[in-house]
Chain A
Amino acid sequence: SQQGEEDPQALSIQEGENATMNCSYKTSINNLQWYRQNSGRGLVHLILIRSNEREKHSGRLRVTLDTSKKSSSLLITASRAADTASYFCATVPLIQGAQKLVFGQGTRLTINP
């Protein structure tokens, strides 16, 4: 069964606005990763946050992790048309031997010019 659930399933905003996507998961984790998938392509890694970290930045990306609520958020600031893609969170559950990622269903983000 899938560990992570993204919210919302789809998000449409205007270029220049900020986009926030949320991920909730069920079991304790070692780390959580966010990936982007452009239509018809493979996934590309964006950022990794460890279970002992609360916030991480990379360019226009900001990720937060709240292990007490078992949730994470991905914020994309000053969105661009090129940010249009699906975004997936992936967790490494501690109970599963810490050797594989478990992906959520993804958020489909559309940036309107």
Chain B
Amino acid sequence: NAGVTQTPKFQVLKTGQSMTLQCAQDMNHNSMYWYRQDPGMGLRLIYYSASEGTTDKGEVPNGYNVSRLNKREFSLRLESAAPSQTSVYFCASSERPSGIHYNEQFFGPGTRLTVL
């Protein structure tokens, strides 16, 4: 099993450009998440999908959109990139929503994004 995979690993954008970060998991998990990690800070939740067909905003959703393409894939789109979106982006998945189901999350290796 590959676990959680993310593409690309690195990306440089100019302000105003758009791009989509891809995430896929092969663990048959129901829930998927997108986080960003900035220097000196923990992870902040951007969007999550508790189950296929549903998506919800997290702590910092502005400037992002997501698509739960199917049970395996959850993509994050930046429509008009801004320098404030320079960050490392992590995708994660869990068997069921973290919380009442006491599920751990499995993380991908991250995408390092720089917006100039």
A94 to chain B: closest residue by CB: B99
Evaluate contact between A99 and B90: CB separation under 8 angstroms. Answer: no
Contact assessment for B104 and A42 in the assembled complex, using a CB-CB cutoff below 8 Å: no
A112 at the interface (CB under 8 A from B): no
B2, CB-defined interface residue at 8 Å = no
Interface mask (A40-72 → B, CB under 8 Å = 1, otherwise 0): 111111001010000000000000000000000
Chain B 93-104 against A: per-residue CB contact (8 Å), 1 yes, 0 no? 000011110101
Does A105 make an interface contact (CB < 8 A)?
yes
Chain A residue with the shortest CB-CB distance to B99: A98
Q: Mask for B49-61, Cβ within 8 A of A = 1, else 0?
A: 0100000101100
B107–A92 CB distance below 8 A: no
Q: Which of B14-22, B35-43, B67-75, B78-86 contacts A (4 or more CB under 8 A)?
A: B35-43
The residue on A at minimum CB distance from B106 is A45
Does A101 make an interface contact (CB < 8 A)?
A: yes
Residues on the B chain within 8 Å of A40, using CB: 110
A30 in contact (CB, < 8 A) = yes
Chain A residues within 8 Å of chain B by Cβ, number = 27
Q: Are A42 and B45 in contact (CB under 8 A)?
A: no
A73 surroundings in chain B (CB, below 8 A): none
Of all chain A residues, the one with the shortest Cβ separation from B3 is: A42
Contacts of A90 in B (CB 8 A): 42-43
Knowing A31-B102, A45-B106, say if A99 contacts B97 (CB, 8 Å): yes
Residues of A within 8 A of B98 (CB): 33, 92, 99-101
In the complex with contacts A88-B43, A101-B45, A103-B43, A43-B107 CB distance below 8 A? yes
Residue among A40, A43, A44, A97 facing the most chain B CB atoms (10 A cut-off): A43
B105 within 8 A of A: yes
* Complex CA distance for A102 and B102, rounded to whole angstroms: 14
Q: How far is the CB of A41 from chain B (nearest CB, A)?
A: 6
| 16 residue pairs A–B, Cβ–Cβ below 8 Å | A30-B102, A31-B102, A33-B105, A41-B109, A42-B90, A42-B110, A50-B102, A88-B43, A90-B42, A99-B50, A99-B56, A100-B33, A102-B45, A105-B40, A105-B42, A106-B42
